[in-house]
């Protein structure tokens, strides 16, 4: 028996969590976990963890595909462990299915709705019941079950599978026309599903001519398929669908859209040359198309994105002159303004932004255009005019996203115009109205520098983050739960205790949907996510709650709330690698929170992995500099390794940019080469101005968020105090 397990004490009822066992299961080391679970179940059969061990024995042996053994443990759990009764029944049914015992599976599945009417497994049980009926040759019954299933659950994640099963049951009865219709419905309405390909194969087998000429017979449905594939990011399949539309009816309205969408897909795939060629052809061949404004805008923007401003101006000018009232013309004016800014033609940029504000007073780009107009005036040395623009932007209806930024730079512009007495109240109001946001913190720092010490009140201003001793959410108010919410709560807690976080998350979501839409309910749900190791969901829930609070409520928030919103996960590792790389541990925490929200298995759309979201190529390069042995991508999902490599990479960026944190953070997100390019464009500007000039919105916001995070971490966890992972009562999760 391992040391960690031997040191744990298990009495009746609640006992210490067997972390060593759960860590093995989390890593997929099921064979190593099995004897420890068995020993626990045998030694303490009546304890809470002894009963949970039965369930986990079933879980681990099922993962090892030792089905008879798994069945035995689940059957024991059926008698001893009622808290997850529906999960036990579901797992038993799955084993019967895997073993080909269809009648036993069917009997088990049919018992679920009566015994557990609120179980989240009921839709799956209904679907699997139909599949077992089909396996027994009872196709008419299966088809009726599936018809009813689609009526009740047709919009769920199981819809494509249910359609395929339904079509197969009809085909087995000789109802080929009905079956073909369902196969087509699946193929066109769920094109990104794994079942879509199987449906296409059956369509070809049943009626190859009709299948191959489908675009000719039902062009709108085929167009819908292409659109969904585009939305799902299935670019190559979407291109094939659009090409089929062009082949079958090149003169149709659908064909016009197909040509444009094909060009936009190539743009999304970064094949800008092919995209511009197709857009040029579209603009030439479809001068009367309703899609022409979008095509002209996309063409001009693509040229702008590829630093070909001279070529981009012609389609954008054609757009704004030929379609002056189109929403695409508004965007076209904005892009022309950005082109002029890049080329230092600031009077022309001002003119274009002014045209946009006049022509589209309620448009989508108005706030951003007004911001850029003020920014140009600020850069040109006209701070009073800049302050006017920023003030108008801060008061503009529908411009809440820009309010803090506009207020701060209004203050900076007034300060630049030697009107510090007017700037100081703006900075103070930022602090009081927006709290510890990026601009709230900057406002606090500027206000402190502007107000003479002798004019300060005796009681110092608390700053952007107030931590009252009995603040809002300092004590958890557990909502009164009825039977159904309590059903889900029990399961959420049990699954979370055992580290089965995916199922725990579903149960918490089901519970949340049953609670009244109140602040206390949101806090309760966020705390459940947090306690079960679902940090991303917890942070999202607390953020949503925070956004709905008034400024007064935000200033009344308790330390407990802030520490849940900004947790210190992996604190020991963070401190270790911060010391080794001579960085602040709060910087590493701030970056991890922004990158992954403490989800160690996170993977971005670009392929960045783990807590500090390292690209495999970056991780490998740093690994080879600092460690021996073979690098494997899976190492990036180990918290200790990821933090070590991420901290070293960030330290390298800080060295490269001579300790300038804002540059290092921008380089971490967008790459150091791009930051060097931006520095060449904007030499000598102060850090705050540089951040505003970052051309990528994602990177700009990324840097601001991490700087804000650092401030909050330093405020709520003073050096040398605070609570670690264990005291926060959090749980590591494992994937199913």
Q: Is residue 418 part of a domain?
A: no
Mean pLDDT of 70-96: 97
CATH of the domain at 25: 1.25.40.10
Percent of the chain residues topping a pLDDT of 70: 94
Q: Is residue 673 part of a domain?
A: yes
Select from 171, 202, 218 the last residue of a domain: 171
* Per-residue pLDDT at 731 exceeds 70: no
* Per-residue pLDDT at 663 exceeds 80: yes
Q: Is residue 177 part of a domain?
A: no
Q: Is residue 49 part of a domain?
A: yes
* Per-residue pLDDT at 440 exceeds 90: yes
**pLDDT value at position 19?**
92
**pLDDT value at position 699?**
98
Tens of pLDDT along 623-651? 999 887 899 999 999 999 999 999 999 99
Q: Is residue 665 part of a domain?
A: yes
Burial of 231 (0-12, 13-18, 19+ CB in 10 A): exposed
Cβ atoms 172, 134 nearer than 8 A? yes
What DSSP string describes 450-477?
Answer: HS-GGGS-SSPP--S----TT-BTSS--
CA 695 – CA 309 distance, rounded (Å): 16
* Per-residue pLDDT at 724 exceeds 90: no
CA 205 – CA 203 distance, rounded (Å): 5
Tens of pLDDT along 107-136? 999 999 999 999 999 999 999 999 999 999
**pLDDT value at position 271?**
92
DSSP H stretches of helix in 360-416? 366-379, 383-395, 400-416
* Per-residue pLDDT at 9 exceeds 50: no
CA 523 – CA 529 distance, rounded (Å): 10
Give the sign of the dihedral formed by CA 213, CA 218, CA 219, CA 223.
Answer: negative
Q: Residues 6 or more apart from 44 whose CB is under 8 A from it?
A: 10, 11, 12, 15, 50
**pLDDT value at position 629?**
85
Select from 124, 142, 171 the last residue of a domain: 171
Residue 583 backbone dihedrals phi, psi, to 5 degrees: -125, 165
Q: Residues 6 or more apart from 511 whose CB is under 8 A from it?
A: 485, 488, 489, 492, 525, 528
Closest to 543 in 3D by CA, of 585, 698, 535: 535
CATH of the domain at 653: 1.10.530.10
Closest to 226 in 3D by CA, of 195, 176, 264, 180: 264
Collapsed DSSP state (helix, strand, coil) of residue 674 = helix
For the packed helices 292-305 and 253-268, what is the interaxial angle rounded to 10 degrees?
Answer: 10
Cβ atoms 643, 574 nearer than 8 A? yes
Confidence of residue 156 (pLDDT cuts 50, 70, 90): confident
Cβ atoms 123, 156 nearer than 8 A? yes
Question: Which residue shows structure tokens 């460690």?
Answer: 627
**pLDDT value at position 367?**
97
* Residues marked as catalytic: 595
| Count of the separate structural domains present in the chain | 2
Cβ atoms 443, 431 nearer than 8 A? yes
**pLDDT value at position 366?**
97
Tens of pLDDT along 217-263? 888 888 999 999 999 989 999 999 999 998 988 888 888 999 999 99
Number of H helices, E strands in the chain: 41, 0
Query: What average pLDDT does the chain have?
Result: 92
Q: Is residue 372 part of a domain?
A: no
* Per-residue pLDDT at 576 exceeds 70: yes
* Per-residue pLDDT at 458 exceeds 70: no
* Per-residue pLDDT at 512 exceeds 90: yes
Structure tokens at 528: 């459940």
Q: Is residue 337 part of a domain?
A: no
What DSSP string describes 70-105?
Answer: HHHHHHHHHHH-GGGHHHHHHHHHHHHHHTT-HHHH
Mean pLDDT of 255-283: 93
Cβ atoms 359, 324 nearer than 8 A? yes
**pLDDT value at position 544?**
96
* Per-residue pLDDT at 729 exceeds 90: no
* Per-residue pLDDT at 214 exceeds 90: no
Collapsed DSSP state (helix, strand, coil) of residue 63 = helix
CA 452 to chain centroid: 45
**pLDDT value at position 735?**
33
Distances (CA, A) of 481 to 244, 512, 521: 55, 11, 11
Q: Residues 6 or more apart from 473 whose CB is under 8 A from it?
A: 523, 557, 558, 560, 561
Q: Is residue 139 part of a domain?
A: yes
For residue 79, the enclosing domain spans 3-171
**pLDDT value at position 478?**
80
């Amino acid at each position: 028996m391992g040391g960690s397990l031997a040191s744990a004490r298990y009495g009746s009822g609640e006992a210490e969590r067997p972390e060593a066992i759960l860590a093995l299961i989390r890593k997929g080391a099921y064979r190593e976990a099995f004897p420890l679970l068995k020993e626990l179940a045998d030694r303490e059969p009546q304890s809470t963890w002894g009963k949970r061990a039965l369930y986990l024995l079933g879980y681990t042996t099922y993962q090892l595909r030792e089905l008879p053994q798994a069945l035995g443990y689940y059957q024991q759990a059926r008698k001893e462990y009622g808290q997850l009764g529906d999960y036990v029944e579901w797992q038993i049914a799955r084993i019967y299915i895997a073993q080909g015992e269809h009648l036993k599976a069917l009997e088990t599945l049919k018992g679920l709705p009566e015994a557990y009417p609120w179980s989240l497994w009921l839709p799956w049980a209904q679907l699997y019941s139909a599949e077992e009926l089909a396996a027994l040759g009872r196709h008419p019954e299966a088809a009726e079950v599936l018809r009813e299933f689609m009526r009740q659950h047709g919009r769920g994640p199981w819809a494509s599978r249910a359609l395929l099963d339904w079509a197969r049951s009809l085909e087995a009865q000789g109802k080929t026309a009905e079956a073909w219709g369902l196969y087509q419905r699946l193929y066109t309405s769920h094109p990104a599903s794994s079942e879509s390909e199987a449906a296409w194969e059956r369509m070809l087998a049943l009626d190859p001519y009709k299948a191959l000429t489908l675009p000719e017979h039902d062009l709108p449905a085929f167009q819908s398929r292409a659109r969904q594939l585009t939305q799902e990011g299935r670019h190559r399949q979407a291109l094939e669908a659009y090409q089929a539309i062009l082949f079958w009816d090149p003169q149709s309205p659908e064909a016009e859209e197909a040509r444009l969408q094909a060009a936009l897909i190539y743009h999304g795939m970064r094949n800008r040359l092919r995209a511009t060629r197709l857009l040029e052809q579209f603009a030439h061949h479809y001068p009367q198309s309703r899609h022409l404004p979008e095509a002209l805008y996309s063409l001009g923007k693509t040229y702008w994105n590829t630093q070909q401003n001279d070529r981009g101006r012609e389609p954008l000018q054609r757009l704004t002159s030929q379609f002056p009232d189109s929403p695409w013309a508004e965007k076209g004016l904005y892009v022309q303004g950005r082109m002029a800014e890049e080329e230092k033609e600031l009077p022309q940029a001002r003119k274009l932004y002014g045209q946009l504000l006049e022509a589209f007073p309620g448009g989508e780009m108005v706030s951003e255009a007004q911001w850029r107009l003020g920014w140009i005036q600020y850069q040109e040395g006209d701070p009073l005019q800049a302050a006017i623009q920023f003030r108008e932007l801060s008061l503009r209806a529908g411009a809440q996203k820009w309010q803090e930024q506009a207020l701060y730079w209004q203050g900076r512009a007034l300060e630049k115009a030697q009107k510090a007495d007017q700037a100081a109240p703006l900075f103070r109001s930022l602090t009081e109205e927006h709290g510890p946001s990026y601009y709230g913190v900057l406002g606090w720092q500027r206000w402190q520098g502007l107000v003479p010490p002798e004019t300060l009140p005796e009681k110092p201003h608390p700053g952007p983050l107030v931590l009252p001793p009995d603040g809002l959410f300092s004590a958890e108010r557990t909502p009164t739960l009825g039977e159904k919410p309590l059903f889900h709560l029990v399961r959420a807690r049990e699954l979370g205790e055992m580290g089965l976080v995916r199922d725990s998350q579903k149960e918490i979501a089901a519970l949340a949907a049953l609670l009244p839409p109140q602040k206390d309910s949101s806090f309760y749900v966020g705390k459940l996510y947090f306690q079960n190791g679902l940090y991303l969901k917890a942070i999202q829930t607390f953020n949503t709650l925070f956004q709905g609070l008034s400024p007064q409520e935000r200033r009344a928030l308790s330390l407990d709330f802030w520490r849940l919103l900004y947790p210190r996960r992996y604190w020991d590792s963070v401190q270790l690698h911060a010391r080794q790389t001579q960085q602040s541990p709060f910087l590493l925490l701030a970056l991890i929170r922004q990158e992954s929200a403490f989800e160690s298995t996170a993977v971005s759309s670009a392929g960045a992995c783990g807590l500090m979201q390292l690209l495999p190529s970056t991780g490998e390069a740093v690994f080879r500099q600092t460690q021996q042995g073979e690098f494997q991508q899976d190492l990036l999902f180990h918290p200790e390794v990821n933090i070590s490599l991420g901290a070293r990479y960030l330290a390298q960026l800080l060295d490269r940019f001579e300790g300038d944190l804002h540059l290092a953070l921008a380089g971490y997100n967008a790459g150091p080469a791009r930051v060097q390019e931006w520095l060449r464009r904007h030499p000598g500007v102060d850090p705050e101005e540089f951040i505003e000039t970052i051309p990528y919105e994602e990177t700009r916001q990324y840097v601001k968020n991490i700087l804000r995070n650092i401030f909050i971490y330093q405020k709520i966890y003073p050096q040398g105090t605070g609570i670690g992972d264990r005291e926060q009562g959090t749980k590591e999760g494992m994937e199913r």
